[in-house]
A = this chain, B = another copy of it.
Amino acid sequence: MLFHVEMDVRIPHDLPSETADKLKATEKARAHELQKSGKWRHLWRIAGRYANVSVFEVSGPQELHDILSSLPLFPYMTMTITPLCRHPSSVREDDR
């Protein structure tokens, strides 16, 4: 099932830059892994903001939480979660 997630990142200015860089690198590796596994189905940058719009395909809220809360940048992100389902006017087979 699908969940729409908006992630807004706000890294405190007094976090040492090496710490931030390390977190970002690990975050990227984890994002690659999750996309390849098919769990993180879509990932777009919101133009002009340090934020993204994502769609996750998971077995339920529990798996969604386990994935999101284990992201390295989780403590610095505000998450907005929206459960999705099939739209009656949709013609695309995989949007469900």
**Interface residues of A, Cβ cutoff 8 Å to B:** 1-5, 11-15, 27-28, 31-32, 35-36, 41-50, 52-53, 60-62, 64-65, 68-69, 75-76, 79, 81-92, 95-96
Contacts and interface: CB of A to CB of B under 8 A. Distances in A.
Contacts of A84: 44-47, 53, 61
Interface of A is mostly: mixed
Contacts of A86: 44-45, 62
A43 B2 contact: no
A44 B2 contact: yes
A74 to B, nearest CB: 8
Contacts of A79: 48-49
A76 B31 contact: no
A10 B51 CA distance: 18
A12 to B, nearest CB: 5
21 contacts: A1-B60, A3-B48, A5-B48, A13-B75, A13-B76, A27-B89, A32-B89, A35-B91, A35-B92, A36-B91, A42-B92, A44-B84, A44-B87, A44-B96, A47-B82, A49-B81, A53-B82, A53-B84, A61-B83, A62-B86, A81-B83
